[in-house]
């Protein structure tokens, strides 16, 4: 990557986001369908990946000055120390500094050390997103996680000691348990344990059994691996209530934050923002074009470029933005897409409102999902896209 100060767009403001995909994990979790693989022992694959990122970064437009950076994966903190340090230094030198409003690094609690966290803080990382998933040792074992509940607690305290300004925890729910009561007790215990660590942000995802994963293979052999949908919904409502009582605002279907700690980078994805993704399986949305990299190591290339018809793209943006609990303001939507939603999907919106599946407020100037429809939002999205 070139060493240079970030350039600003003509108005001086930084905009958009940068995503870097790190395709390595210590071990694959039983449910995971993200593009990542268990890292080889000698670090050669990581070096080769880093060379690929450097080459891809050379092609990023000079004027690109992201307001947010997100290093995700995979497990970025599973990179060998030397590659991890070079990546942080290169991102900081080209895209860091004044005006970078948020820099997140994803981490598995079993892969952190005070040294890695200190490097992150020195580079300018503002936020660490920890894949906690659960505080139950049995659940962590069933999900194939490499860490213990104690590792989660240690990781949070190390991040705080290193001075990382914000900590986010990912939780998972919705796997099969011995009984409904046991499942809900685990959810309650997970909420309590997570809240006790005083994170700034929490994400809660329902287990999905993805094809090709070890959990899917178990399911194919007749084992129940996911809880019934009605129980998953009860778990989701427990999480919503528990986190609200602890002072977290829900700003997206699966995301909760203390005031001001919402993830700016992910908000870009939900509001049709521009971003550039580097690495295998990374996606970009830049100059109106979507681009996706192939999921292959050590070489990857642009697998598709797609310029969607404007109406179709606006419909997709409508749906993505409705994932936010605040939904869309009519003027905001017009400014982002150039379309009025009445012109785009007026009759569908009217029908969804009449059926109570969508709320229309302020004389039709705002639409959003009712809280009762968060868990079943897919049906609404299918009608709108």
The reply to whether 268 sits near ligand SF4 by the rule CB under 6 A is: no
Residue (34 or 286) nearer to ligand SF4, CB: 34
DSSP per position, 209-266? --TTSHHHHHHHTT---B--HHHHHHHHHHHHHHHHHTTPEEEETTEEESTT-S-HHH
What the block records as the tokens of 125 is 């990382």
User: DSSP E strands: which ranges in 3-54?
Assistant: 17-22, 24-25, 37-38
Q: Please report how close the Cβ of residue 83 comes to ligand SF4 at its closest, in angstroms.
A: 17
Q: Kindly state whether residue 206 participates in binding ligand SF4, applying the rule CB under 6 A.
A: no
For 95-178, where are the E strands, in sequence order?
102-107, 127-133, 166-173
DSSP for residue 132: E
User: Residue 147 or residue 234: which is nearer to ligand SF4 going by CB?
Assistant: 147
Binds ligand SF4 (CB under 6 A): choice among 36, 168, 284, 317: 36
Q: Rounded to the nearest whole angstrom, what is the least distance from the CB of residue 50 to ligand SF4 in the complex?
A: 18
Binding to ligand SF4 by residue 28, rule CB under 6 A? Answer: yes
**Contact between 128 and ligand SF4 (CB under 6 A)?**
no
Q: What is the DSSP letter of 13?
A: -
Instruction: Answer yes or no whether residue 25 interacts with ligand SF4 by CB under 6 A.
Output: yes
Say if residue 125 is exposed, middle or buried (CB neighbours under 10 Å; 0-12, 13-18, 19+): buried
- Reference 194, options 145, 251, 253, 258; nearest CA is 258
Task: Choose, by CB under 6 A, the member of 6, 17, 74, 242 that binds ligand SF4.
Answer: 74
Among 18, 29, 65, 238, binds ligand SF4 (CB under 6 A): 29
Can residue 73 be called a binding residue for ligand SF4 (CB under 6 A)?
yes
Stretch that binds ligand SF4, among 29-37, 235-243, 320-328, 336-344 (CB under 6 A): 29-37
Judged by the rule CB under 6 A, the positions of this chain that interact with ligand SF4 are 25, 28-29, 32, 34, 36, 73-75, 108, 131
């Amino acid at each position: 990557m070139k060493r240079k100060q970030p350039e600003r767009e003509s108005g001086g403001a930084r905009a958009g986001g940068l995503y870097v995909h790190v395709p390595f994990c210590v071990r694959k979790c039983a449910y995971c369908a993200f593009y990542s693989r268990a890292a080889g022992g000698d670090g050669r694959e990581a070096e080769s990946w880093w060379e690929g990122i450097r080459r891809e970064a050379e092609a990023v437009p000079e004027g690109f000055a992201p307001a947010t950076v997100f290093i995700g994966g995979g497990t970025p903190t599973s990179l060998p120390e030397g590659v991890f340090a070079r990546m942080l230094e290169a991102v900081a030198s080209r895209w860091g500094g004044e005006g970078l409003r948020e820099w997140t690094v994803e981490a598995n609690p079993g892969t952190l050390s005070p040294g890695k966290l200190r490097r992150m803080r020195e580079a300018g990382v503002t936020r660490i997103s920890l894949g906690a998933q659960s505080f139950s040792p049995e659940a962590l074992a069933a999900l194939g996680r490499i860490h213990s509940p104690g590792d989660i607690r240690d990781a949070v305290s190390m991040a705080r000691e290193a001075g990382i300004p914000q900590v986010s925890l990912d939780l998972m729910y919705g796997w099969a348990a011995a009984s409904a009561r046991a499942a809900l007790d685990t959810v309650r215990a997970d909420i309590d344990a997570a809240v006790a660590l005083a994170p700034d942000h929490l994400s809660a995802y329902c287990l999905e059994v993805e094809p090709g994963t070890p959990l899917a293979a178990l399911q194919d052999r007749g084992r129940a691996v996911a809880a019934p949908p009605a129980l998953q919904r009860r778990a989701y409502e427990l999480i919503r209530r528990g986190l609200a009582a602890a002072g977290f605002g829900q700003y997206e279907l699966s995301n909760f934050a203390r005031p001001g700690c919402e993830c700016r980078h992910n908000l870009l994805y939900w509001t049709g923002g521009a971003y550039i993704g580097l690495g295998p399986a990374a996606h970009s949305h830049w100059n109106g074009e979507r681009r996706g990299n192939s999921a292959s190591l050590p070489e990857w290339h642009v697998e598709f470029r797609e310029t969607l018809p404007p109406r179709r793209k606006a419909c997709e943006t409508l749906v993505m933005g409705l994932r936010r609990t605040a939904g869309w303001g009519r003027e905001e939507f017009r400014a982002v897409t150039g379309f009025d939603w009445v012109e785009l999907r007026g009759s569908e919106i009217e029908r969804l409102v009449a059926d109570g599946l969508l709320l229309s407020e302020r004389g039709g100037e705002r639409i959003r999902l009712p809280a009762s429809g968060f868990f079943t939002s897919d049906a609404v999205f299918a009608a709108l896209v």
